[in-house]
Amino acid sequence: MKHFDFVIIGAGIAGLLSAYMFRNYKTLLIDKIGILEGASAAAGAFLFPKIGKRSTYTDFINSAILKSFEFYENLGIDTHKKGVLLLPRDEKDIEKFKEYEKDISLPFEKRNGGFFFKDGGFIEVDEVREKIKVPFLKEKITELKKEGEFWRVNDILAKNVILATGYENLIDIPYIKIRAVWGERIEIEGKWEGNFDIFYHKNCSVAKIKDKLRIGATHKRNCLNCKTNEKEALELIQKAKEIIKIEEFEISDIKGGFRAASVDYFPVVGEIIDVKKTLFNQPRIVKGENPKEIFYYKNLYIINAMGGRGFSNALMCATMLKKHIINSENLGKINTKRLFIKWARKEGDRYLRKEKNVKS
């Protein structure tokens, strides 16, 4: 039986960058389809700042953007960093833009009623796949269980396992509710007018890539049956027409996928909590008491909920996860505990009662 220090399940951008972080260990990346094939295959993959009221969230996103440009460029991946013009969507947005201006932390200039950031670009998913090479196995994982000091992952033994399965669940973690948000992005050929030295973001992003326009993306919640379809692609064209004049077009590519999002939009990274043990030891947590101790499954981690910004968030999350595992550094707002406490206060009582019934 094969042994590894780290096995990462799920080879989207979160899993791939996690495997890259642990490349100096005996590491294996596993996916049932291939590398960057899940939501990651559908991504734009645009990198651009977030504007909004100054918060831990906007700071996290924007810091991830800056680090990502540096990271991808160091690997020789073209970031097409020509800048992005963020435009308000409607009257309400115009007011919001005025309000947000004072809180913008990255360099910008006002342009055409919006904000232009030089820190805007995009990368090609194929180029990321080509430039970041890690040991990989194509296999669907159906079994994950503790065997002595190791985790058994199908027929492989791992000292540490990192779950990076996107919107799909391999194991039931009741307090981490990952929502699947369907999206499509397209490429078109045709005739259009506009300055494409930069790219644009309004209700969607629009960039010129060689002789095509890449337009992304749609957002549809509660739509697990969603599949790529031309009707949704035409919705995107309509949104793009609010930014540039498109005279003729032919859709040359449609890609779709499910983004994984958490209830508070922050990524979810770190150890997985043993809910049963923690709640049985301290049942008063469900009444609002602060936990004195949280029990974790040893050497089992998650990196998930990258939302609509996986190509920047994943780098930040994988870097933090490595520092957490190796140097015990704090994960801050992205840790798993925040979701556990909220869930325990809301649903923990029901969970405990159900578990007690099962026991008796």
Ligand X SMILES: Cc1cc2nc3c(=O)[nH]c(=O)nc-3n(C[C@H](O)[C@H](O)[C@H](O)COP(=O)(O)OP(=O)(O)OC[C@H]3O[C@@H](n4cnc5c(N)ncnc54)[C@H](O)[C@@H]3O)c2cc1C
What residues make contact with ligand X under the rule CB under 6 A?
Answer: 9-15, 30-33, 37-40, 42-46, 140-141, 164-166, 168, 170, 183-185, 216-217, 257, 259-260, 304, 306-312
Q: Smallest distance, Å, CB 102 to ligand X?
A: 26
- Of 27 and 304, nearer to ligand X (C-beta) is 304
Angle of helix 13-21 relative to helix 310-327, nearest 10 degrees?
A: 40
Q: Please give the single-letter amino acid code of residue 223.
A: C
Of the pair 33, 223, the CB lying nearest ligand X is at 33
Locate 151 and state its tokens.
């985790």
DSSP 204: S
Closest CA to 103 of 53, 164, 30, 48: 53
Spatial contact of 5 and 160, defined as CB atoms under 8 Å apart? yes
**Phi, psi of 166, rounded to the nearest 5 degrees:** 60, -135
Give the gyration radius of the chain's Cα atoms: 22
DSSP state letter for 198: S
Shortest distance, position 169 Cβ to ligand X, whole Å = 8
Nearer Cβ to ligand X (166/270): 166
Rounded to whole angstroms, the Cα distance separating 340 from 357 reads 22
The nearer residue to ligand X, 39 or 344, going by C-beta atoms, is 39
Q: Please state the closest distance from residue 51 (CB atom) to ligand X, in A.
A: 16
What's the closest the beta carbon of residue 261 comes to ligand X, in angstroms? Answer: 9
CB 322 within 8 A of CB 315: no
Nearer to ligand X, 215 or 285 (CB): 215
Q: Least distance (Å) from ligand X to the CB of residue 216?
A: 5
